[in-house]
Amino acid sequence: MMLLILNILISTGFSFNKTTCDAEIERYGNAQGHDKISTECLNLYRNLAPTNCQKYSALGEMKAIAADGIFILEDNPTMSVRYSAGSEAQVGSCTSLAIDPIFVEVAILDASRGEIAIYNAQIMGNVAPRRIIKSEYLIDATDLEYQNDKILVLNKQQQTLFSFSRLANSTLPEAKRQDRLTLISTDVPPNASKITFDNTGKPTFEVQPGEGHEN
């Protein structure tokens, strides 16, 4: 009956709000709701996504967008749109995200949970993360980026830049986790908001307006 009512509302141009869309993504992929998420809800989450949760891959061929409970992957050459959501996907709040076009992964930082969830961007849907990194140092972290075989993490509050192995996985037995962090810098500008790279590949920082760039 609920599905019938929802279908009627969709067909009559019902105005979608976040409560409606949250319910839609919660049902997604669990055999109790639609097997697709409506365009209206996808657009709503695009608009809700924080700036650091809307990023292009290095060559611009992919764009990843994440908001509460969902992440969306847009393929620019084909204009296709895919997404992950639902109980298995475990997408939380997004503080920042990063795209690895080589291994076709998307890493989503949820600072409120103190974790990074890494998803296989080739297998979307109500699908569990490929790996999860948990650390107390991720609480209050503000940005992350891939660099080679590492995931770099910026913690503005602690003024630190550190990294994890790309293969780190805190859900494995301790001997196999590879989730020990490596401290890179304790000299991060207090207003740093984003990790960038100079022309040699060295990490630098984008800071709030008026502060310039610092290493």
What DSSP string describes 90-104?
Answer: -----SEEEEETTTT
Q: Burial of 105 by CB count in 10 Å (0-12 exposed, 13-18 middle, 19+ buried)?
A: buried
pLDDT value, residue 35: 80
191-209 burial, b if ≥16 CB within 10 A, otherwise e? ebbbbeeeeeeebbbbbee
Q: Kindly give, in sequence order, each residue whose CB lies less than 8 Å from that of residue 93, ignoring residues fewer than 6 positions away.
A: 68, 110, 112, 113
Task: Mark the ranges of the chain whose per-residue pLDDT is less than 70.
Answer: 1-16, 31-34, 209-215
pLDDT value, residue 33: 60
pLDDT tens digit sequence for 52-95: 999 999 888 899 999 989 999 999 878 899 999 998 999 999 99
pLDDT value, residue 15: 56
pLDDT value, residue 209: 67
| CATH numbers and ranges of domains, the chain | 1-48 (no CATH), 52-214 (2.120.10.30)
Question: Where do runs of H (alpha helix) occur along the chain?
Answer: 2-11, 18-27, 39-48
